[in-house]
Structure 1
């Protein structure tokens, strides 16, 4: 497995969603990548489940990292971002939060959102 040059920790593949295991992990992912789309979701949420294949495709097809935060497992982290409904999408570009959207967004809109922050 490859390691991150800065931290020496293993680098996770970014062609599939990254499941976040806490605030420090989210901060590491956000600081290590140019664009990160964070999906705050719940396992019991029907719309969240419908969004899964879309997010998996975007992770594979775009330069952005798709991160997933289970709001039931990480309630303080969800509260920190003001998540009141799922799914909630938070976009980070160059380490800064730039957008937040509640509800399911269609794939073309998500792709446009990501591509608006990725540099060629």
Structure 2
């Protein structure tokens, strides 16, 4: 992707995230935030990014059929990570650069029915 397009996409994705989102501690050691009618828990370790999908009551929701991507900011630069379902309620992907344990950014979900939602991490 052309750098300016990546930056534009990142900005639009972050702007589309709900303003009232709040973060809480997750059961898997990450941070949980609202993503439309869902909640997502972001866990970053080195270059591995795991996102756990939860329903509105923060109960695990099967990730099969979902598509997702994360745009995370590391060192002032966006790192785009494609996420795929692997087991249970987890989607995973690999960043091209090592990430801090609490990166800023956003996760965009596409549900099996085609609806989209995003969650912002500050």
Using the size of structure 2 for normalisation, the TM-score is: 0.29
Larger helix proportion of the pair = 1
Larger strand proportion of the pair = 2
Using the size of structure 1 for normalisation, the TM-score is: 0.29
Q: Which has the higher contact order (CA 8 A, sep 6+)?
A: 1
